Amino acid sequence: LEPKEEFEHSSLAVDVMRPRRSDPPLAVLTQDSMTVGGVEALVESTRYSGFPVVVSQESPRLVGFVLRRDLLISIDNARKRQDGVVGASLVVFSEHPPAQAPDGPPPLRLRGIMDLSPFTVTDHTPMTSPDIFRKLGLRQFCLVSPRVTRRLLGIITKKDILKHMAQIANRDPDSILFN
């Protein structure tokens, strides 16, 4: 088989997704338990274009996806304009903010910038060509465990697919890459 065909016939989403075993874990946001300061620290310590939002660290069920750019703009605006938003304010992506101490700072509600139905596949979904990103107008998609649990497993960008295809091609140096 040509590498492109081999890729389309044998690769599963789980073979292509990040993080690989040796990578640091996924950088995720939790829906109602991180502070503005915590979110800023996470965003500034990485270069990723976006972050999956999960219920909590204990229950990593995917609830949405937020772009880095939108997070930075919203936090910046809130810090400038919204009375009382400080580093210790809770960032809330859920519909209803959790109960908080009455003397604490007001929460920063960011549900409006979250994609509520990010494109997902499961770990055993066969991979297709990287064209899928252009065709569906996506930047990335998330991998979740099948059925209702929707546990977040990983993330795939167009570059991840291209890298995986190149790796397969390198295993077979005589073949012509991508025709």
Site residues (vs ligand ATP, CB under 6 A): 18-19, 26-27, 47-51, 155-157, 159-160
Cα of 122 vs its chain's centroid, Å: 14
Nearest CB to ligand ATP, comparing residues 4 and 158: 158
The single residue listed with the structure tokens 């939790």 is: 30
> What is the spatial distance between Cα 138 and Cα 41, in angstroms, rounded to a whole number?
26
CB of 52 to ligand ATP, least distance (A): 6
Nearest CB to ligand ATP, comparing residues 78 and 152: 152
Nearest CB to ligand ATP, comparing residues 75 and 85: 75
> What is the spatial distance between Cα 168 and Cα 105, in angstroms, rounded to a whole number?
52
Q: Are 122 and 13 in contact (CB under 8 A)?
A: yes
- Long-range contacts: 130-135, Cβ < 8 Å, 24+? 130/158, 130/161, 130/162, 130/165, 133/157, 133/158
CB of 15 to ligand ATP, least distance (A): 13
CB of 43 to ligand ATP, least distance (A): 10
CB of 20 to ligand ATP, least distance (A): 9
Amino acid letter, residue 124:
H
CB of 164 to ligand ATP, least distance (A): 10
Nearest CB to ligand ATP, comparing residues 45 and 117: 45
Nearest CB to ligand ATP, comparing residues 31 and 157: 157
